[in-house]
Each structure stands twice: as C-alpha cells, then as structure tokens.
Structure 1
C-alpha cells in the first residue's frame, strides 16, 4: 500500500498576509473590463475635447486672455472650476477647465472601485469563499488599491499623452497627469478606510463621497473667498496647487502621496481589529417588525435609493446654479473667437449664443442624469447577484412588482434631478439677466425635454438586465457611446446616421429653437418597449 502525502498549502499568516493579491487583481480587472474602459475613455475624451476647443477656438490674439479675465472675475465659475493660472496658452486654460472637476471624477472612480472590490465583496459573501483558499488577510484591500492605482495611472498616462499630442509642453502635461493620479489615490485611501468602518458598501460609498464632496466645497470656498488656506485642506485643491503650465510646483505632489500612505496604513490597522464581514461601526439592532412605510416593494425601493438620489440632486442643484450664473455673460467669455462661436452653436444647435450654451449645458446634465438612471437600473442586478432578491420573492411579492417598483423610483429620480436643474439654471439665469418670469419657464421646459432620451438609455439597460444579466454592466458602455457622439461627434463631423444612434441627438433644440413633441413621443415609446421587453425576459428567466 502506498501512502501519498499532500504538501500543506502555504499559510497566509505573518509572512503571507498578501498571498493571492496578484490573482485578485487579475480577477477584478477582468470583472471591470467594461466599466473601467468607459471611465478612462470618458475622462480622456474630456481632456482631448478641452485641448481641441481652446487650441482651435481661441487662436486670435488676446482671445485666451479675455476669456481668462472673464473667468477670474466670475465668482460662480471660480467656485466650480477654480481660477485660471495660465491665461496665455491653450494648454493652461484646458488644465483649468478639466483640473478640479477631473480630479473629483478620478476620485469618484477610485472610490467606487475600492469599495466595490473590498466592502462589497465581503457584503455579498464572495470574499469569504475566496478567502477559504490561499488568500492573505490584507490581500483583498491591497488588490482593490492596486486596481484603483492601475486605473488612475492609466488615465494619467493617457491624459499626459493627449496633451503632448496637442503640442503642450511635456512638463506641464506630466504635472497635470500626476495631479489627477494623486487625487485619485487620496480618495482610494479614503475609500479603503470607510470600507473598514462601514458594514455595508452603500454606507462606505456614502462616507467616502461625503469626504469627496467636502473636499470640492473647501476647494471652491478657498478659491472664491479670502480664506485661501481652505483649499489646502482639500485633495482637489492639492491637485490645483501643482499648477500645470503655470510654473509647476512639484513639491505639492508630496501631499497626496503622504495622505495616501497614512490612509492606507490606517485601513490596514483597522483590518486587524475587525472580523470578516463586520465593520468598525456595528449597526444597531433594528425593530422586530417593519414600519408601515416599509411594507410595500415601492417603499423598500425608495428606502434603498433615497440616499443616492439626495446626493445626486444636491450636486445637480449646485451645478445648475453655477451654469445659470454664467449663462448671461457667456458672450463675454467667448469673446471674438469665431471658431468658438461656431463650435458652441454646433454643439447647442442654436444661433443665439446664450441659448446654445444653455442647450449644451442641458445636454450634459441629461448625460449625467442618464448615469444616475443606469446606476439605478443596475441596482436590480446587484440585488439579484447579492442573493437579496430571493428572500423578497419568497413572500407575496412577484418579480414584476418588485422590478417595476425599483424602476419607478429610478424614473422618478430622473424627473426630480432634471427638474431641479431647470429650476436652478432658470432661476439663476433669470435673476442675472433681469427676466426671471421669461427665462425660468423656457429653461425649465428645456431641462424636462431631455427626459425621454434619458429613459431610452435606462430602457436599454433594463433590456440587458432581462436578456443578458451577466452583461448588464454594458449599460455603462451604452452611456459612453452617447457621450462620445454628443461631445465629439460635431467636432469630428461624423455622418448624421451615426449621430442618430444616440437618443440625445433627437431631443428638441430648446431653449430657443422650434419645439416638436414627435421626437419626445417616439423616444418615450422606444424606452417603454425596451423596458417591457427586458421585464418580460426577466420574468421568464432563472434568478441568478
């Protein structure tokens, strides 16, 4: 008889706390093969379109300087984007336009990635299964941070390359890319800490995004008010203090590196103090019976989505006030640049420059609203994949009733967000121009006219969820295509049949243009048909 002795698996003890990190990085990069390229493409396209616009639109002598003076004299614009530090070059003004907002978006991307691959993995129980193998205690968080670093690093390299390709000085381009990378890593560190503190991914995301929002607010207050030191309390302010194309301050890059190191160290220390699946902040015991307000699927959907809706709506309200505040002076900002006037009129599909600007802004807000809608629809898949759907369906709640309740809250959220946008932009623009009674209704109507196009994107995502649940994340790809066609299509002179693929191409040219209800009715019909087909497929397929 022959005995066979199996070699014991290497222990993930003191010397193996990072065991399995490489395997997790590969696995999670594969899971993000749709979402990550969409993020990276969108942010790279933001830099590319900004560089193109300022290089080709402000080539007349003095045009950039006049534009920059208008920005620096406008408090609402400075609060949103910061001051223009280099008013003499297109690359300097492009760095101003994309610096603060881009750093915030990179931070948002890293927060979502880290929480998705750390706390969310624990919450769903997948990390416990993976941890049963040779995976060290610190490996999941390390892999999550490496995925975020890979995404932020790739984005920094592409942004740098795009700027250099447009003829920008290499030093400024590198500084710009590193500033974005530093901001992303700081917020990745913040998410690493909140993922240990909170017991749910929803709370971890909420805490991290609250820090991000506070950072953006502090940066804005520091740029507008006399207390400039406030901007030094913000990671987004640190990114601006690198000063790309304006006598680069390389020492400022040490701030995000030190902050990330401290946050990562804190996160690793917290890992050792909690059990797998638990958070430092343990949730209190809930009531033994649900309140009357939670006894319907619609009430449950509202409870799950209200936090996200409030956060999105607050951001839309602030951004709408900023857009409305500068709309009346957009002619002064554009100056005498004929090419910029032409580009803005093409994007806004209007002859009047103010109406073209407002139309363009509404289109951008509609794309952001569509991002909220995609996120809301994908919550259906998250509830299913997290095995939280089956206990609900085990009661008297049917599949369609549950799904329709979730979608109803999402659709209502899109209405609320665009309505707030219309009210904020219309009120600020009306007060600034002295015509509140005339501007508010037309701008409010222009915002609501974007809804059917948003619903088409949501309907396609519902269709993917019903037919191909494992590919439901491709809803982000649909949104990325719409973004590319809307922002780059007019610049690249794409054929009209290609442009027509995006539902946002078919929205009426308002405010200022001719309103026709037929496109809105048609888009709504398409959205309803896609949603109905997706729900029917969901009703007939297996759960999971």
Structure 2
C-alpha cells in the first residue's frame, strides 16, 4: 500500500481527536509487518516450546535434573550467562534456559516494531503525508504500541500454550510466556521514548539497544553475585522476568513490575510526543564543521563516518561476550556432567574432539552466527540510505553507484573480521588465563573465531544480492539470517537431520579449535560469497534507484 493510498484510506477515520485514524494506522502497520511479526513470534515461541522435549531427552530422571541444577547454581559464570535455576523440573529447566534469552529477543522484536512505525515513518516523510489526513497527534504512536502489544501477546500465548500442550503445568507455562511478553512490551515503551528523543531511526534503535545491553549486564552481575540474585538483579527488567520463577512457586506479583514500567514509559512517550513537531526531536544533531575533513572526501570515508559507532558497539559487545564465554569454558564439564545426551549435543555443535575444545568451538560458532547480524545490518544500510533520500545527493555528483555501494560493503565485510577478532581475542585470553596457558590457547582460539568469516561473508553477500536485485524484499534477509541462527542454536538439541543443518553456511565449516581444518569448505564458501556479491552489484548498476 502506498503512502498516498494510506492517506486516502484514513480520510474518513473517526474517533477521539488525538487518536483519530489509529485503527487504520494499526491495520497498515500489521500489513507492512505481515512477514516480520509472524516470523519473530513463531520462531521464538516454537523454540521455547520445543525446549521441553529436548530437556526430557537429555535429563530423563529427577536425579539428573537435580544434579544439573546444583552444578549450574554453583557456577558463577553460568549464572551470569543464563541465570540461576529455581526449579529442577523439566519446566523449571526450560525457564532457566530460555527466560533471559526469550526476554532479550522479545525486547528486540518490540523495539524494531515501534521504531519502524514511529521514527522511521517520520524520517522518510510518510508520516507527514499521513498526518495531512484525519490522523490524531497520538495515533501513530498508539498504532505502533498496539502492533507491539499484539505481537507480544501472541508470543506469550504461543509459549504458554505450547508448553502446556506438551505436558508442562499450565500455571508455569503461562507465567513464563507472560514474563517474556511483558519484557517485550516494556521495551516497546522504552523504544517509544527513544523515538521522541532522537532525530532518526538508527540512533533510536541504538539508544534502546544500549539500554537493553545495560539491563542484561545488570541482570548478569546480580545473578553472578549470589545464586538467588542480588539487588542488581531487581534493577533489570530481565531480572524481573527471571524472578517470576515459572514452575517454581510462581511469583505472579512480579509481573506487575513490567506492567507498571510499561505504563510509565508509555505515559512519558505520550507526554514527549505532545511537545514536539513531526520530524523534530529532543536531541537534535549538532551542526558539523563548515569544512569537511579529508576522511569524508570519498564514499568509503562517508560509509565509515556513518557506521563507525555501530562497529565500535559490536566490537565492545564481542569483547565482553568472548571474555564471559572464555571464563565458562573450563567449567564445561560441570554443564555436561556425566550426561551422554548433553555431550552428544556439544559434539554436534562443536565437534568430536575433547569436551573443552567442543565447548570452545560451540562458542566461536555462536560468535560467527551473531556476527552475521552485524554484517547483514551493515549491508542493508545501503537500503536505508536509498529510501531515506540520502543516497541521491551523493550519486548526483561524481560518485558512481558501485563506488558508493562498495564503501558500505567494505565496512560490512572487513568489520566482520574486526568483531570476530575481538571476540576470539577475548575468548582466547579469558580461557587461557583460567587454564594457565594464555600463549598456547590464544592463537588457536583466535584462529577458530576468524574461521567463521567465510560463512558470515556468504550471508552478507546474500544481503547485497537481495538489495541489488530485489530491493523491496530486503527485509527478507533478516528471516534468512534468523533461520541460520535458529538452525545453529536449536538444531543440535532437537537433532535436526544433516540436510537441514547444511542449509546454514555455518554447517559446512570445520569445528575449530580441535577439529581438522580442510581448505575446501573455506574456498567454496568464499567463492559463493564472491558470486552473490557480483550478482548484487550487477543488479544495483542496472536497476532504478528509489
């Protein structure tokens, strides 16, 4: 639906003056997100629901589950990563394993929905056109929040119904679903505030994402301090979700915390939106110098200026993640214990070598899959520049399309190497310190992290292909990257067949460190990325812009 058609559809809208047109805007938002929202909800909801059957197969006796819970609660690093285990039932283990991860992913989904239908609409000028019709001042924000509410509510019901349908207690199942969905809705409210404060979508996403990272860090620090959590845990909405304690004498009152936080955040967002004009922000950009430095003299310099903050944030995040994973590696035997099924999963994810090497290979694989998110987002910055009408002034000069695109692609491809090197460096040093052999472990672990590069480049090149040839389908890239993450994350525990694992480029890489490194997989993955990249640039050169 075009913006003009949407404006015409909104003309007869009726209702309270400030909310006029909310229903039509909500229908428009749900139509635009008819792929993204179902994909997020189904993948996350089914992943949580399927985790119960995995734990039933891995820990089929009460003694095994009690042993796992005791070992997890005794390991400070694992508590920081996943949180404490409050119940040693199957449902309790699912809640332990998925509540923090599910809350984070629900928060990411919600912030993307809200910012997409508020700040992005203003940035592209569509909101100004829509507001020329019968649209109330608060209608766009209300429609965006309602879209996020629908997504989070469906996610909560899917998680609760899926777990209850698999035989888990209904109370704990829906407590877990509400905890995850409630966290997502709270971050929808925080994203709504960020959309009022910042001048464009990227800073709004960055501000909300940084808040999410801070909240996860507070939760991790609090859980590391004590097995039952500490005051730091209660400063984080992720800690609130954790302390609902699904399947362990549920604390239903803890659900009031995200509810109250959401109400306060939404009220603040409404107050802010009433005090600014469309397109304006409370944190306007500072004017730049009168003369541009030499670093901005070409397309690469411009791309670097636009993406350097994002690259720095990802690099710091990988340094922190690598340090945490390295501290856990020596305790991998505590995670597995004597459980053969758990050992099989680690070996499916990390190879048939020793348990510690298999754990390290699993962690480097996870770093690679997460790096694909950075690479895809960096490539798709081209689409944002194009649709935001910022590419046209650049291309109107002496800069050609391919030079302009290659500036952003260089940041995407070589930035991948930088963040993987940062993660591998931190992982190798952290593990080397705990193992008492930094010099012996650093090189092999760093090499294992960098070995993920060809697979990440394949997905980055695929993003370039889709953008160059099918620009309107660029958002589908996220579904592909998310599918690869899902295959690598839950495929081994659910025993996906090998052909399904091979759908991801990461399934073709050798399991390093410890495994045998053959040249063939690296060469054909690099060749595939070159092929995709060439096809994408050819398509970009031939198609119309805009």
TM norm structure 2: 0.94
Kindly report which structure 2 residues correspond to 1:191-340, keeping only aligned pairs within 5 A, or say none. 191-225=191-225, 228-340=230-342
How has the CA–CA distance of structure 1 residues 222 and 499 changed in structure 2, closer, same or farther, with 3 Å as cutoff?
closer
| Residue equivalent to 1:5 | none
Specify whether residues 170 and 458 from structure 1 end up closer, same or farther in structure 2 by C-alpha distance, changes over 3 A only: same
Aligned-pair CA distance for 1:11 = 8.5
Matched, 1:156 2:164: no
**Cα distance in structure 2, aligned partners of 1:522 and 1:377:** 21
The alignment status of 1:423 with 2:425, answered yes or no, reads: yes
Deviates more, 1:238-247 or 1:357-366: 357-366
Q: SS of the counterpart of 1:228?
A: coil
Q: CA deviation at 1:309?
A: 1.7
String of CA shifts for 1:410-469, please: whole Å, max 9, x gaps.
Answer: 112211111112112211212112222222211111111111011111111111111111
The match for 2:513 among 498, 511, 532 is: 511
- How far the C-alpha of 1:484 sits from its partner, in A, is 3.8
Q: Single out whichever of 134-143 and 496-505 deviates more from structure 2.
A: 496-505
Residue 115 in 1 paired to residue 143 in 2? no
Give the deviation of 1:344 after TM superposition. Answer: 2.0
Q: Indicate the SS of the match to 2:530.
A: helix
| 1:490-526 C-alpha deviation (Å, 9 max, x unpaired) | 4555544443332111101211111111110110110
Residues 148-173 of structure 1 show CA distances to partners (whole Å, capped at 9, x for unaligned) of 11221122122212322332111111
The answer for the alignment partner of 1:133 in structure 2 is 133
Report which stretch shifted further, 57-66 or 259-268: 57-66
Among candidates 533, 536, 540, match of residue 534 of structure 1: 536
Tell me the distance in 1 between the aligned counterparts of 2:312 and 2:36.
24
CA shift, 1:10, in A, is 6.0
**1:55 paired residue number:** 56
RMSD: 2.0
Aligned to 1:447: 449
Give yes or no for the alignment of 1:43 onto 2:44: yes
Equivalent position of 2:22 in the other structure:
21
Distance 1:233 1:485, change over 3 A: closer
Residue pair 1:191, 1:204 contacting (<8 A) in 2 also: yes
TM-score by length of 1: 0.94
Which residue number corresponds to residue 68 of structure 2?
Answer: 67
Q: Distance in 1 between matches of 2:531 and 2:341?
A: 41
Closer, same or farther: CA 64–495 of 1 in aligned 2, 3 Å = closer
2:165 alignment partner in structure 1: 165
Whether the 8 Å CA contact 2:13–2:24 is kept in 1: the answer is: no
Aligned to 1:396: 398
Give CA-to-partner distance per residue, 1:393-424, whole Å, 9 cap, x none: 01211100010100100112211111112112
Question: What is the CA-CA distance between 1:60 and the residue it aligns to?
Answer: 3.8
- Using the TM superposition, name which of 312-321 and 445-454 deviates more: 312-321
Whole-Å Cα distance in 2 between the matches of residues 221 and 496 of structure 1? 38
Task: Provide the residue aligned with 2:3 in structure 1.
Answer: none
Instruction: Please report how far the alpha carbon of residue 45 of structure 1 lies from its aligned counterpart in structure 2 after TM superposition.
Output: 4.5
Distance change (3 Å), C-alpha of 1:219 and 1:480: closer
Match of 1:366 in 2: 368
Q: CA deviation at 1:130?
A: 1.4
Q: For residues 11-30 of structure 1, what are the alpha-carbon distances to aligned partners after superposition, in whole Å with 9 as ceiling and x for unaligned? A: 88x93221221222222222
Q: For the residues of structure 2 that align with 1:521 and 1:109, how far apart are their CA atoms? A: 35
Distance in 1 (CA, whole Å) between partners of 2:256 and 2:271 is 23
Aligned equivalents of 2:492, 2:83: Cα separation in 1: 28
Change (3 A) 1:278 1:502: same
CA distance in 2, matches of 1:433, 1:24: 57
* More deviation, 407-416/496-505: 496-505
